[in-house]
Homo-oligomer: A and B are copies of this chain.
Amino acid sequence: MSKTIITIGRQFGAGGRELGKKLANKLNITYYDKEVIDSVAVLSGLSKEYIAENDEVVTNSFLYSIVMGTRTLTGQKTVEEIKMDAQREAILEIAEKGSCVIIGRAADYILKEEKPLRIFISSDEATRIERVCKRDGLSREEAEKKIRKMDKLRAAYYNEYADAAWGRADNYDLCINLSRFSIDQAIEMITMNCK
């Protein structure tokens, strides 16, 4: 079998991570989610804590620097740019190493030359709220707020980084609603392309 690279974009609380882990396990290939952070820290020289805190986030100061055009004026990279460049490099290195599942981080876009299998995972709002309440120990209202905020951050990050629209069906090869299909069914679908 040739190299299999699967990227998984996902709504917050939809179950993308759980699916990704099971999928990597089933295919016996490496799983990357938070694991990317270590490589980004090494490659950027920035602290793991900073990378973790700003994982999949575009800071306002970065967006400001784009709008104001100050990025090109100083000729120096901002911390945000150093982080983003290191993340890009880390993801390219990961894909170089061998077959893998990578969660989020615009990996589908960064690796487009490799033609990864691009998955997007969604779920109905009620299911997501229930999952986030249970997982993060939040009230219903807090979970709703967190879901809205995290999806907004992920979309902003992706749209900025990838110059494409997060969650739009035609950016992906397969988008699965995990309220309608089970994780095992989703894995069966995805692996149709890995035979």
Q: Which residues of A contact B (CB under 8 A)?
A: 11, 117, 120, 122, 167-170, 172-177, 179-181, 185, 188-189, 192-193
Contacts and interface: CB of A to CB of B under 8 A. Distances in A.
With a 10 A CB-CB cut-off, give which of A120, A122, A175 has the most chain B CB atoms: A175
Contacts of A188: 192
B177 A173 contact: yes
A180 B167 contact: no
Given A168-B168, A174-B175, 8 more contacts: A11-B170, A169-B175, A173-B179, A173-B181, A174-B174, A174-B181, A180-B193, A188-B192
Contacts of A180: 117, 173-174, 193
A159 to B, nearest CB: 13
Interface of A is mostly: mixed
With a 10 A CB-CB cut-off, give which of A122, A169, A192 has the most chain B CB atoms: A169
B169 A181 contact: no
A174 B120 CA distance: 10
A125 to B, nearest CB: 9
Contacts of A177: 170, 172-174
A114 to B, nearest CB: 14
